Amino acid sequence: MTPHNDSKDSKPCIGLLNPDQEDQMKVCGYRRSLMRTGFCWACIFLTGGLLRLVLHWWRHLYLYATCSQCSLEEAEQVLVTEDYQGKHKMYHVKQIQVLTSSNLKTLLEKEQQSIERTHIECDHVENVLQLSVHFTSAQFKKCSSIRIFRCKQLVYAWNNNTNRFQRINGLDLNIPCSYYHQQRGLPVHEQISRRIVFGDNEITVPLRDFKTLLFLEVLNPFYVFQLFSVILWFTYDYYYYACVILLMSVFGITVSVLQTKKNQDVLQKTVYNTGNAWVVDHKGLSKELPTRAIVPGDIIEIPSSGCTLHCDAILISGNCILDESMLTGESVPVTKTPLPSKRDMIFDKTEHARHTLFCGTKVIQTRYIGSKKVLAFVINTGNITAKGELIRSILYPPPVDYKFEQDSYKFIQFLAIIACVGFIYTLVTKILRGTDPVKIAVESLDLITIVVPPALPAAMTVGRFYAQKRLKTSEIFCISPRSINVAGSINCCCFDKILKYSILRERRERAILAVTKKVSA
C-alpha cells in the first residue's frame, strides 16, 4: 500500500517541520476516505483479523489504507516522518485538534472556581478572549480558532501566513534584550489565552495503565509468533515443550510490563510539578498562583528563601545563587545576574546563560538592593524548557546502530528464508504422497516453528532481566535495557565530567568491571 495524492487543489500536501534544524521532519496531510476504510475493513474481515494486526504494527500503513492524501490546511490527520541519516525512518500518526474560544470559556470557568483572579463575565468570553499563538520574535497572533497537533511532546500549529505547520516556541528566539525589561506583566485574559495554546506548565510523560501495556506487549510480533507456535504444538501433542514456552512467555511479558510501568512511574514522579509561584500582573500586583498556570510572558517574583524553578526565566532585577547540578552535574553554585537592557542585542540562551534561570534548578539565595524585588521574565514553560528537553531526550532517544542487532536481524531473516523453503518443499511432497490435509498443514507449519526459534525473545527478555539485577547490585542503573546485549564488547568508556571524589572513581571502575565481565558472562 502506498500513499496517493487525491487532492486536486494547489495547496501544499507535504511540508517540513523544524526546517534548518537537526530535528527536521516531513509532514503529510490525510483525511478519512469512506471507500478506502470500507475496503480495508472488508480485507480485515476476510483475513480473520490478521491484516489488522499487521496494520497495528505499522500504523502508517493503516493511515494509507483508510485515508487519502490532502492539503495540510484541510487535513484531519498528519503523518510525521523522521529520517535519521538515511538509515532509520520513524513514523508518527497524529490527530489534528482544533482549539476555539469555547476552550477558553471552559478554562476560565474552572479558574474562577479555583482561584479568584478575574472579574470577566464568562457569558461574554467569546467576545473578550482570543487565542494567542506565538511562533517567533515575540509576535503573538490573535485568532478565534487554531489547528494544532502534538508530536514528541511538542505543539505544532497551522500558520496561515506561511501555509505550513510551525512549532510553537517560547519567548527566547530573535528577541532583543530590551523587550524583557519593557514588559509589565499580563492581564488575566491574556494569561488564559496563552495557556490554552502552550498548555499547562507541566512536563508531560506518556502514561499507560497496566492493561494497556499488557495488551501492547502481547501484540508484539515475537509473542504473536510464540502464541501461534504454542497453539500448533498443542494440536501436534507437544504438550510439555509448549507449556514450557508458554510459561517463559508469560514470565517475560510480566517482567517487561512491570519494568516499563515502574520506569514510567519513576519518571513521572521526577517531573511532577507542585507548588505555587508569585506572579506579577499588569497592574504591578503580586498574586500567588499554581505553578501549572504560569505562561511565557509572565513575570514571577523569586522568594528570598529560595525555591525550585518550574520554568525557564530571564532574571531582570536582583541577583540569584543557583544549584544547577540537576541539569549540568556540577555541584558548584552559580551566580545569576540581571540581563542588560540593550536594544541592539538579541537574546541568545547560550551566550546569556549567566542571566537565565533554567527549569529544574534550585534557587539557594537571592540578593536585591533596598526594597527592589527579585523578578524574572518567563520565556519557556512545560516541555519546551531545559528540563523538558532533557526528559524528551530520554523518552525519544535517536536510534543507535548496534552491529549485534543488525546481525541478529539478518540471522532471523536467513532462518525465515530456510523455513519458507522447507515449508514449500514439505507441502509439495506431502500433497504428492496424498497425505491427510490436516496433517499436511500441521507438519508444514511445524517446520517453521522448528527453524525459527520461538523461545528466542523470551530467553532474551529473561537474560536482560537478570543482567539488570546484577548491575543493580553494583549500583548501576540502565535506562536502555536493549543495550545490555552489546555491553560486554565495550572496551572504552568516556565521561563528560572529571570525577574528583574517590567514591565516584570507585563507582566508575565498578561500572566498567561489571559491564565488561558480568554481563558478558
Would you say 463 and 234 are in contact if contact means Cβ atoms under 8 Å apart? no
Q: Which letter does DSSP use for residue 184 in this model?
A: -
- The Cα 17–Cα 94 span in angstroms is 14
Q: What is the DSSP letter of 370?
A: T
Angle at 215 between CA 209 and CA 217, to 5 degrees: 100
Dist CA 91 CA 27 (whole Å): 10
Cα–Cα distance for residue pair 206/366, rounded to 1 Å:
36
Q: How far apart are CA 64 and CA 8, in angstroms?
A: 18
CA distances from 332 to 323, 326, 328 (A): 7, 12, 10
* Gap between the Cα atoms of 426 and 422, Å rounded: 6
Smallest CA-to-CA distance from 95 within 147, 149, 58 is with 149
The secondary element (H helix, E strand) that includes residue 249 is helix 239-271
Grid cell locating 157? 500549529
H/E stretch holding 364: strand 362-367
* Catalytic status, residue 496: yes
Looking only at the bridges linking them, the beta strands covering 97-100 and 88-95 are: unpaired
CB 207 within 8 A of CB 191: no
* The amino acid at 423: F
Cell readout for 371 is 526594597
User: Which member of 20, 123, 237, 496 is catalytic?
Assistant: 496
Q: In the sheet that 154-159 helps form, which strands lie side by side, from edge to edge?
A: 97-100, 145-151, 154-159, 164-167
DSSP labels for 489-500?
Answer: T------SS---
Task: Determine whether 350 is exposed, middle or buried from the number of CB atoms within 10 Å of its CB (0-12, 13-18, 19+).
Answer: exposed
Q: Which residues are catalytic?
A: 496
